[in-house]
Structure 1
Amino acid sequence: MKRKKLLSMIVSSALILSLVAGCGTTNNNTSAKSNTSSKSSETVKITFLNSKGEIESQLEAAAKQFTKENSNITVDVIPVPAGQSPFEKVTSMYASGNAPTLAMLDPGDVAKFKDKFLDLSNEKWVSDAVSGALNVATIDGKVMAFPFAIEGYGFIYNKAVLDKAFGGNFDPKSIKTRNDLENAFKKVEASGVKALEISPMDWSLAGHFLPIAYADQSKDPAQVDKFISDLKAGKADLANNKVFNGLMDTFDMMKKYNLDKNNPMAPTYDKGPQVIGQGQVGFWFMGNWAWPQIKTFDTANGQYGFVPVPISNDPNDYGNSGIPVGVTKFIGIDKTQNNQAQQDAAKKFLNWLVYSQSGQDALVNQCSVIPAFKNIKLVPNDPLAKSIEQYITEGNTLEFMTTLPSDHWSKLGASMQKYLSGVTDRKGLINDIESYWKSVQ
């Protein structure tokens, strides 16, 4: 299993340097100016497969702005359908002879397209990427993809709701154990607000929640690797694994306070930002990518942050004080079904994101993306990114398990959904997880 080394260097370089530099931005690449003008009268059409549906409208607006500045290039943003993995979508597009020019993939899928993606090693942004950001994308010594976003996740809390529930200024550091979290849930409900929203999408349950059981096995990356290897070999005993059972005990507790516990599979993703933003719940398990939606419902004046997912009642247990953070999306450029002009246009679009003032604004301010480039001095002006920044500064980050098999979240997501709905019990879930891993080649 590939890993991202020097995680703290990745995220601290991206965020802390941004703080030092302040919130201003300059176009510090003279070539970017030439990138915004066109010498050709022939229009080049490129496609961009987007696997971050929560910023679909923002990316469409960015594409229009890019075309405004590069009148001979049009960018068609294509969303990955809900319920389909980006790997599945890209694979089907290649099979139909209609591969996207730019494909946004999960980190673990980049290597699968190494023979179809363009070598980007000589692009200027390679030298401006923060330390470690290109580890996953570097295959056989070649940089095969562009690091699009640094993200993190945990329990998002609405501070206005929590302040009222606690009768004062809520301190997220007060949540150190499962009992602390349940106490917070009880206080929120005593104040007349529901405690928690659990979004039942498979990618959230098995792409984000379940992997905490892997990441929390040890602060030593080698031990986490060994745990995954043991799962594949059928040697891991989840029934007696303290971390896994601790996480699922927390999930059981969450189910008791779920806003939709009577019909847990009913909510869509869109319900989450609404109920947390309008203060209908105190907590929502999700990541900072949700901010663009939350802010459309925000009644708390931007007062939000993260608390970790505790796995025990010992505040000293690894994982109880940290949230997963890492580079979560990479963009590759097709070289097999898109011609040279399209490849060049795609390179120009990526350079526009990194070096032009309007591209940086689209990436950071409009898409609320934490960039993986040290030359970008903009800091996302949203509370969730700032909360992640605080965890990074304090060294309280876990590995974001971004290189899991591409079908992990779809197959085990279905199992987690059965568990959430009460269709299966802990024993059945364990059997599904262990069977899945033994089938992974």
Structure 2
Amino acid sequence: MKLKRIVILLSIVLLSMLVACSSNSSTSENDSNNNSNSGDNSNSNEEQSEDVKITFFNTSAEVNEVFENLFDKYHELNSNVTVELIPTPIGGAQIEKFQSLLASGTPATIANLDAGAILQYKDKFLDLESDREKYEQLTKPGTIDRVLLDGKFLGVPWTSQGYGLLYNKRAVEDATGESFDPASIRKRDDLATLFEKIDAAGTAPVVIHGADWSLGSHYTGLGYALQSQDVDENLAFVEDLKNGEADLSQNKQFNGLMDTFDLLKKYNLRKDDPLVSDYNLDSTAFAKGEAAFYFMGDWTWAVIGQLEGRDDEFGVIPVPISNNPEDYGNSQIAFSEPKLFAIDDTESTEAQQKAAKDLIEWMLTSEEGQMAIITDMGLNMPYENLLAESPNIISHSVDEYVNKGDVINISVMNYFQPDWWSKVGASMQKYLSNNIEREELYNEFEDYWESSK
């Protein structure tokens, strides 16, 4: 009997062990299935279980806090990845700080830079050719072609911006007593006739922001981009300027552009004090209808969108440069992807580079990332199938041109020296304030390019 009880007890123990093993196996299998069916908000997997710290150098200083919040959210979803923001001050010495990080051997893993800055340091960044096809599918047609630098995909676009003559629909219609159709402005004379009507009603037809970046980069930059729809031909034109082989006084595009600028000068809200250069003041004047038009871009919504008592309907039209509606530029607005995410290829490890790629893709394709960029930052994205709706009314107008392909590729400016816009911008300020004539203006432009060889 004693032996029999021992046998029974042993059988019970063995049976318990078998049940336990079966239960553990089932639990492990269920856990595995649960993990494999989890949502795709997280990039965590076995290959990424190693802790990785990456840094993010940000030149979009006005949205530092939004990026920090976004990185905290990403860490919640990917606990093995820590992202540290390296901020820069608004309008501060951003490139100098980037250069100092490079010189000290501690470059940021990801740098949010102007395309021209990435081109300047192109040998410091990872070639993203292996990701090019993926981003061509994610972005709107033509986006990736516009951001290639010397034919290489070195930076991922995350925002887009368009500019031209912004219009305040209420201000235009109140001044003219007529419904305003933006498509009716197809040449310079159309704009002149409209300005005359608005001026006669006692409203300023337009406001010109007198800062060097607006006059130098945005306005005169059109002169180089409008030479041809082929960026290489535009670059060749600039090389001719550097070699003293181009004469701006005989250039159709530049003369047309400056003829239009003379029209804007004539009807400028600030013509008595054109260099006041108060961005908030100018944007507010336009938003509240003190001026019917404004040479500016959709980024001004960051000011306009917050104003109380502003008008509600805004849009953009091209800057007409001739009286031939078919001329390139009369039906197109300037458009670019001004900032790119580039990944360090000097000090970053393979794990950091992979983590950087994953973070960038998540920011640009997830609902959290798109909400942060579009809603919180108020910026536009050159991506298809967006999961967030922009409150930026002006960018909606820009999108209409983009979707039709009616845009001017201004990427020729990516290849210019960093000081170009401030130098030519200073010359444009003289012209705006009637301190030099057009011939002198062109001489100063040509002198700059010849000295920049």
| TM-score, reference length from structure 2 | 0.78
Find the aligned partners of 1:345 and 1:119 in 2 and give their Cα distance: 15
| Correspondence for 2:82 | 73
Contact persistence 2:158–2:364 (CA under 8 A): no
1:436 maps onto 2:444 in alignment = no
Shift of 1:335: 3.7
| 2:390 alignment partner in structure 1 | 380
Q: Is the 8 A contact 1:80 1:89 kept in 2?
A: no
1:403 is matched with 414
Aligned residues: 411
Give the one of 313, 322, 335 matched to 2:323.
Answer: 313
Q: Residue by residue, what CA displacement relative to the aligned partner does 1:196-225 show, whole Å, maximum 9, x if unpaired?
A: 221222222121110211222344556434
Instruction: Specify every segment of 5 or more residues in structure 2 that has no aligned partner in the other structure, as ranges.
Output: 1-36
Counterpart in the other structure of 1:413: 425
Identity %: 37
> 2 CA distance for matches of 1:233 and 1:312?
28
Cα distance in structure 2, aligned partners of 1:55 and 1:204: 21
1:115-194 aligned at under 5 Å gives the runs 115-123=123-131, 125-126=134-135, 128-130=137-139, 131-135=141-145, 143-194=153-204
Q: Which runs of 5+ in 1 are unaligned?
A: 1-28
CA distance 1:58–1:294, change in 2 (3 Å): farther
Q: Which amino acid aligns with 1:403?
A: N
Counterpart Cα distance in 1 of 2:447 and 2:345: 37
Structure possessing the higher relative contact order (Cα contacts under 8 Å, 6 or more residues apart): 1
**By how many angstroms is 1:239 displaced?**
1.4
In the alignment, which residue of structure 2 is the partner of 1:26?
none
**Partner Cα separation in structure 2 for residue 30 and residue 413 of structure 1:** 54
Do 1:47 and 1:75's aligned partners in 2 also have CA atoms closer than 8 Å? yes
Query: 2:52, 2:352 within 8 Å by CA — same for their partners in 1?
Result: no
Q: Does the aligned pair in 1 maintain the 2:66–2:377 contact within 8 Å?
A: yes
Greater helix share, 1 or 2? Answer: 2
* Alpha-carbon shift at residue 158 of structure 1 (Å): 0.9
The answer to whether the 8 A contact 2:41-2:77 is kept is no
Q: Is the 8 A contact 2:204 2:292 kept in 1?
A: yes
Kindly indicate whether the alpha-carbon contact (under 8 Å) linking 1:185 and 1:257 is maintained by their aligned counterparts in 2.
yes
Against the structure 1 CA distance between its residues 318 and 43, is the aligned structure 2 distance closer, same or farther, given a 3 Å change threshold?
closer
Between 337-346 and 326-335, the greater mean CA deviation after superposition: 337-346
CA distance in 1, matches of 2:388, 2:405: 22
Partner of residue 42 from structure 2, selected from 19, 34, 54: 34
Report the Cα distance in structure 2 between the residues aligned to 1:139 and 1:264, rounded to whole angstroms. Answer: 36
Write the letter of the residue equivalent to 2:329.
Answer: G
Secondary structure of 2:160's partner? Answer: strand
Match of 1:82 among 71, 91, 107: 91
- For the 8 Å contact 2:111–2:342, the answer to whether it is kept is yes
CA contact (8 A) 1:32 1:351 kept: no
> Could you say if the C-alpha distance between residues 226 and 269 of structure 1 is closer, same or farther in structure 2, counting changes exceeding 3 Å?
same
| Aligned pairs (5 A) from 1:164-243 | 164-219=174-229, 223-243=233-253
How big is the shift at 1:419?
A: 2.0
Q: 1:53 to 1:178 in 2, by over 3 A?
A: farther
Measure, in 1, the Cα distance between the counterparts of 2:38 and 2:214. Answer: 41
How much does 1:113 deviate?
2.1
Computing the radius of gyration over CA atoms, which structure comes out larger, 1 or 2? 2
Cα RMSD over matched residues?
Answer: 3.4
What residue is the counterpart of 1:5 in the other structure? none
3-state SS of the aligned residue for 2:123? coil
Label 1:346 to 1:191 Cα distance change in 2 as closer, same or farther (>3 A). Answer: farther
Q: Show CA shifts across 1:5-53 (max 9, x none).
A: xxxxxxxxxxxxxxxxxxxxxxxx9885223899989794623322x45
The alpha carbon displacement at 1:280 in A equals: 2.2
TM-score, length basis structure 1 = 0.80
Q: CA–CA distance in 2 between the matches of 1:295 and 1:174?
A: 27
1:49 correspondence with 2:61: no
Q: Deviations over 1:233-286 (max 9, x none)?
A: 211111122221221122122122222222222222222322222222211111
